[in-house]
Structure 1
Amino acid sequence: MSQLDLNLLKMFVALSQTGSVSQAGAQLGLSQPAASNALARLRQAIGDPLFIRTGNGMVPTPFAETVLPDITRHLDGIFGTLGHQTRFDPAHSKRTFRLSLSGLGEVVFLPRLVERVFAEAPDVRLHNAPVPAADLPEALERGRVELAIGMIDTTDRRIRALPLFQDSYVAIAGPGYQGQPQTLADLRRERLIITAPAATYATDLGDVLSRTGLAENVALQLGNFGALPLLLDAQPLVAIVPSQYGDLLQETGQARLLPVDIAAQNASIKLVWHQRAESDPAFAWLQQIAIDTLGQAE
């Protein structure tokens, strides 16, 4: 234990983030055999299996779960200090960045982000794994997510948040919808469809519906936005959605905006990260791209 290689601890953290020996190795620039060998050496040095193979990937043991936060924090401090003056070269980097965007975030935000990231860093990888808002602080602390975007509020002092823009809600219907609601009173006679994902977007939709007197009109609630255009095309329903998504569906001919003023307070779309990421030049690069690209969406 006294001669434990710090690179083995980097393997430990990478494996906790990816749940895969091969992916952890790729993140560290190691071949599959080298990554497996590093895990074997780490297990021998620490005297614990550390990770158990399951149908959902490599899962940390109770001991690994206990020590992971401290190891991650200390490694960040060590390599952050040693590499404080280093620069991130996006043109040659093969870094994998882990994001948390809801299904709606993938549709509305990710295309613009990907275009800019891949233009500057053609070999960088982006991995989106949506995390429920309640679990996001832990995911950020453990490094399973580096950057989240959405309607996110947290009281954790270690979590940083930067407002990107304000969004509101609009009413939309399918292209063939025959109704002509003009006011909230009209809308209260319609059957509604809403989408309320658990991950980082639209978490305040229930409040919006209550304030506008529309909560009792919800006929169908979805967990993601994938089926919404098809349902609007097939059913005489009205959907309440964030305005950017409504604009996108109208632009692509999948829906039409209804002239109803939802009269709800705008929600803040935020960029969210853990304070420990701030010493990482690669993270700073990605963060600035997100600010430059999505902060213009107001």
Structure 2
Amino acid sequence: MSLLSDMPDSYNLTMDLNLLRVFDAIYAARSISNAADRLGMSQPACSQALSRLRIELRDPLFERTAGGVKPTERADRLARSVQGGLALLDEGVREPDAFHPQTSRAELKLHLTDIGEMRFLPRLVQTLQSRAPGIKVLASPWPQKDIAEALHNGDLHLAIGFLPQTQGTQKIELLKDRYALMVKAGHPLIRGRGRSGLSTRALSRFDFVTVRSHSETQRILSVLQLEERIRLRVSSFLALPAIVRSTDLAVVIPKAIAQEFEPREEFLLLDADLPQQDFTVSLHWGRRHEHDPFLRWARALVIELFKQ
């Protein structure tokens, strides 16, 4: 992968390699001031470097927005070459040792929501205990808008989930799922109708519980104009089994998660007419670090365990 693939022949790479690092930082941060902080330079110096690169490439590269800057199409093309090229340069300078999972004491930093932790951590940690017993896993939820930059900067190593707002990363699809409606067995609005699907009109008769950390379920209810039917918002999916079991509240929930609730006979999982109910869970990582031996091994392990 050449750093010159999207540059004019006259561009002097050896003289201005630092300009590419400035570009790379701005592209990841979507902010000149944040990029300057990350690089340890002043904002005027960062802006001056960007101006030089704009002149060299004859493109504005970034346009101002209310919250920072957004890349032009030329910048998007350039970023693919620059990120991969800088990763190879950094790897060559560092000359990282080969990764030895049985003796490693590395920390693996993951983005997972609480629902992702329920779904992925048990099997992942069980496998690590046998294959790489010294590795420590640090899992935490990040705002989707910050994930790409965190992966790029190494604050995160991998992100797993349905992350439609996370752009500019490398990713691979792990599995597909769909949203359904879960209620308690014997719910008064379900008696006599079996497990047939629910129409939008039928859904409007339910009261709902939602999870604050899972915005997609709240978006679904908003699209259905059922926000006024939300009676309870909780902070974690872990609270849902007891709440649904003991009340008449319904919850919109990924099927794969609902099927793990025990005892199963106390819950009903119903198909419903929900907008955009099918979704994909993907593994995301940053281009800058994809050649790192440890992270390459970690990606392969996640894909081995969870790709359907």
TM-score (norm 1): 0.66
Q: Equivalent residue for 1:14?
A: none
Shift of 1:230: 2.3
Q: Equivalent residue for 1:227?
A: 239
Shift of 1:246: 0.7
Superposed, 1:128-207 pairs within 5 Å as 128-154=139-165, 156-157=167-168, 159-175=169-185, 177-180=187-190, 182=196, 183-184=198-199, 185-197=201-213, 202-207=214-219
Summarize deviations over 1:206-225 as a string: whole Å, max 9, x none: 44334555444222223321
Q: Equivalent residue for 1:67?
A: 40
Q: Residue 163 of structure 1 contacts residue 271 of structure 1 at CA under 8 Å; is this kept in 2?
A: yes
Q: Does residue 136 of structure 2 align to residue 125 of structure 1?
A: yes
| Structure 1 SS opposite 2:40 | helix
Query: Over alpha carbons, which structure has the higher Rg?
Result: 2
Q: Equivalent residue for 2:105?
A: 94
Q: Equivalent residue for 1:209?
A: 221
| Structure 1 SS opposite 2:270 | coil
Shift of 1:163: 1.4
Q: Residue 175 of structure 1 contacts residue 253 of structure 1 at CA under 8 Å; is this kept in 2?
A: no
Give the distance between the partners of 2:92 and 2:36, measured in 1 at CA: 27
Q: Equivalent residue for 1:30?
A: none
Summarize deviations over 1:176-206 as a string: whole Å, max 9, x none: 6444165233332110112241xxxx44334
Shift of 1:97: 0.5
Q: Residue 176 of structure 1 contacts residue 233 of structure 1 at CA under 8 Å; is this kept in 2?
A: no
Give the distance between the partners of 2:95 and 2:177, measured in 1 at CA: 37
Q: Residue 151 of structure 1 contacts residue 203 of structure 1 at CA under 8 Å; is this kept in 2?
A: no
Give the distance between the partners of 1:189 and 1:152, measured in 2 at CA: 30
| Structure 1 SS opposite 2:260 | helix
Q: Residue 87 of structure 2 contacts residue 290 of structure 2 at CA under 8 Å; is this kept in 1?
A: no
Q: Residue 148 of structure 2 contacts residue 166 of structure 2 at CA under 8 Å; is this kept in 1?
A: no
Q: Equivalent residue for 2:19?
A: none
Shift of 1:83: 6.1
Question: Which structure 2 residue ranges, 5 or more long, are not aligned?
Answer: 1-34, 47-82
CA RMSD of aligned residues (A): 3.2
Summarize deviations over 1:241-278 as a string: whole Å, max 9, x none: 111111111x4448513333344431111111111121
Q: 1:207 to 1:162 in 2, by over 3 A?
A: same
Whichever residue aligns with residue 123 of structure 1, its letter is G
Whichever residue aligns with residue 234 of structure 1, its letter is S
Summarize deviations over 1:19-54 as a string: whole Å, max 9, x none: xxxxxxxxxxxxxxxxxxxxxxxxxxxxxxxxxxxx
Q: Residue 246 of structure 1 contacts residue 257 of structure 1 at CA under 8 Å; is this kept in 2?
A: no
Shift of 1:136: 1.1
| Structure 1 SS opposite 2:159 | strand
Whichever residue aligns with residue 228 of structure 1, its letter is L
Whichever residue aligns with residue 111 of structure 2, its letter is S
Whichever residue aligns with residue 286 of structure 2, its letter is H
Q: 1:203 to 1:162 in 2, by over 3 A?
A: farther
Q: Equivalent residue for 1:288?
A: 300
| Structure 2 SS opposite 1:118 | helix
Shift of 1:175: 5.0
Q: Residue 103 of structure 2 contacts residue 132 of structure 2 at CA under 8 Å; is this kept in 1?
A: yes
Percent identity reads 26
Shift of 1:139: 1.7
Q: Residue 144 of structure 2 contacts residue 166 of structure 2 at CA under 8 Å; is this kept in 1?
A: no
Shift of 1:116: 1.9
Give the distance between the partners of 1:77 and 1:86, measured in 2 at CA: 15
Aligned length: 227
From 271, 274, 285, give the equivalent of 2:286. 274
Give the distance between the partners of 1:254 and 1:196, measured in 2 at CA: 27
Q: Which moved more, 1:269-278 or 1:74-83?
A: 74-83
Summarize deviations over 1:75-103 as a string: whole Å, max 9, x none: 96666215668431111111111001001
Q: Equivalent residue for 2:65?
A: none
| Structure 2 SS opposite 1:248 | coil
Give the distance between the partners of 1:76 and 1:165, measured in 2 at CA: 28
